[in-house]
């Protein structure tokens, strides 16, 4: 593969030099009728190639895309995305066609005058008003989804979890039986209290620190994000969730998981994706991979920005409760 590519480069360089010798020809350097004809046809060919590229990418790369939303709120996201992308594809298909087709059809010939058409109030109105109306619709729709995704006030019995970011790992803290997270600040970081929980706050005692994120299916989760050092961002693409972790403040984002890890592993799109991944891994002699939800750092944070890992496991609510009951609280952890 690499050799082919080096050869391509060599051919390119060679053709560059060959073309350079044309300079000696001192041809007329303004486009002639032949040039217009040739370039116009190339414009048409480019259009065909461009459409072929777009169709190829949509077809072939569909397999790498995300599966259906693993959160309830994400379903509305996906529908909005579908309609917006649909609009984009339609506009793109039409406008690129007109552009390249006109570039081909009206390629210059001698002794033909262009059509002197400087203005048309009617046309300007059409293509100002139409985008305005379409965009107004998109704005209203989009804002409705935005409010849904960013306003947690209607959520019933949410679970509070703090996700804590630092160079270069994640930790989490569950709010415990009182469902209240105790105060925390970096000034309280000491020894095993790695997240700086303020133990003088009565709400902190039953908080549960973990290095693994378990989420209950069907119960809304309100995440509170903090950062220890620089900007990070908690990006959980399967849930259509992302929020920056900002040192000096607490940010929040909420969603309701709707598919357990097991259920997502049985999703057809994921099965195909994992199969493909394991094929690639086998070729390289790497061990096989089983799907897990992703938590990615998505704001440049230093050398290991690309490798901040914490497992996310979505379980049925009773299994989740069983797991949580088996974890130690802050008080218990600090006693050790």
Partner 1 sequence: MSDHHHKETFITKYVFSQDHKMISKQYLITGIFMGVIGVFMSMLFRLQIAWPDHSFSLIEAFLGRHQDGGVMSPDIYLALVTIHGTIMVFFVLTAGLSGTFSNLLIPLQIGARDMASGFLNMVSYWLFFLSSIIMLISLFVEAGPASAGWTIYPPLSALPQAIPGSGTGMTLWLVSMAIFVASSLLGALNYIVTVLNLRTVGMKMTRLPLTIWAFFVTAIIGVVSFPVLLSAALLLIFDRSFGTSFYLSDIFIDGGVLHYQGGSPILFEHLFWFLGHPEVYIVLLPALGITSEVIATNSRKPIFGYRAMIGSIIAIAFLSTIVWGHHMFITGMNPFLGSVFTFTTLLIAIPSAVKGFNYITTLWRGNLQMNPAMLFSIGLVSTFLSGGLTGLILGDSALDINVHDTYFVVAHFHLVMGVSAIYGMFAGVYHWFPKMFSRMMNKTLGYWHFWITAIAAYGVFFPMHFVGLAGLPRRYYTTTAFPYFNDLSDINIIITMFALVGGVAQLIFLGNFFWSIYKGKRATQNPWKSNTLEWTTPIDHIHGNWPGEIPEVKRWPYDYSKPGYKEDWVCQTVPLMEGEEPT
Task: Give min distance, CB of 116 to partner 1, in A.
Answer: 5
Task: Give min distance, CB of 97 to partner 1, in A.
Answer: 10
Q: Which of 254, 257, 263 is nearest to 218 (CA)?
A: 257
Whichever of 43 and 324 has its CB closer to partner 1, that residue is 43
Q: How many CB atoms lie within 10 A of CB 185?
A: 12
Q: Give Cα separations from 185 to 167, 211, 234, 247 (angstroms).
A: 16, 18, 19, 10
Using DSSP, state whether 46 is helix, strand or coil: helix
CA distance 274 to 277: 5
Helical H segments across 179-220, by residue range:
none
Whichever of 235 and 323 has its CB closer to partner 1, that residue is 235
Label each residue of 109-145 as H, E or C.
CCCCCCCCCCCCHHHHHHHHHHHHHHHHHHHHHHHHH
Task: Give min distance, CB of 197 to partner 1, in A.
Answer: 13
* Pairing, β 296-297 against β 251-255: unpaired
Whichever of 218 and 237 has its CB closer to partner 1, that residue is 237
Q: Are 160 and 169 in contact (CB under 8 A)?
A: no
Whichever of 145 and 159 has its CB closer to partner 1, that residue is 145
Task: Give min distance, CB of 37 to partner 1, in A.
Answer: 9
Whichever of 206 and 264 has its CB closer to partner 1, that residue is 264
Task: Give min distance, CB of 239 to partner 1, in A.
Answer: 9
Task: Give min distance, CB of 25 to partner 1, in A.
Answer: 8
Q: Are 328 and 206 in contact (CB under 8 A)?
A: no
Whichever of 309 and 331 has its CB closer to partner 1, that residue is 309
CA distance 101 to 45: 10
Q: Are 223 and 252 in contact (CB under 8 A)?
A: yes
Whichever of 5 and 268 has its CB closer to partner 1, that residue is 5
Task: Give min distance, CB of 84 to partner 1, in A.
Answer: 6
């Amino acid at each position: 593969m690499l050799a082919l590519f080096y050869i391509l480069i060599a051919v390119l360089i060679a053709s560059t030099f060959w073309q350079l010798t044309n300079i000696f020809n001192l041809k007329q350097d303004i486009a002639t009728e032949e040039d217009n004809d040739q370039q116009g046809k190339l414009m048409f060919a480019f259009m065909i190639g461009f459409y072929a590229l777009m169709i190829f990418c949509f077809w072939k790369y569909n397999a790498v895309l995300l599966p259906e939303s693993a959160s309830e709120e994400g379903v509305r996201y996906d529908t909005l995305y579908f309609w917006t992308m649909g609009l984009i594809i339609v506009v793109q298909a039409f406008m690129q066609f007109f552009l390249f087709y006109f570039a081909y059809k009206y390629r210059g010939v001698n002794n033909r005058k262009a059509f002197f058409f400087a203005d048309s109030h009617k046309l300007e109105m059409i293509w100002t008003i139409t985008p305005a109306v379409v965009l107004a619709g998109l704005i209203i729709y989009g804002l409705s989804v935005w409010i849904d995704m960013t306003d947690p006030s209607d959520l019933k019995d949410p679970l509070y979890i703090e996700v804590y970011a630092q160079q270069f790992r994640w930790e989490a803290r569950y709010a415990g039986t009182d469902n209240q997270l105790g105060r925390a600040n970096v000034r309280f970081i000491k020894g095993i209290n790695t997240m700086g929980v303020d133990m003088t706050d009565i709400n902190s005692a039953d908080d549960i620190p973990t290095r693994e994120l378990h989420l209950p299916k069907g119960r809304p989760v309100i995440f509170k994000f903090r950062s220890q050092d620089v900007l990070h961002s908690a990006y959980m693409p399967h849930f259509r969730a992302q929020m920056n972790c900002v040192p000096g403040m607490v940010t929040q984002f909420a969603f309701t998981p709707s598919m357990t890890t097991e259920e997502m592993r049985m999703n057809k799109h994921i099965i195909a994706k994992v199969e493909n991944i394991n094929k690639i891994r086998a070729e390289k002699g790497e061990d096989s991979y089983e799907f897990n939800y992703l938590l990615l750092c998505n704001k440049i944070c230093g050398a290991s920005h690309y490798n901040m890992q914490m497992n996310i496991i979505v379980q049925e609510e009773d299994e989740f409760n069983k797991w949580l009951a088996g974890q130690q609280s802050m008080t218990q952890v600090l006693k050790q």
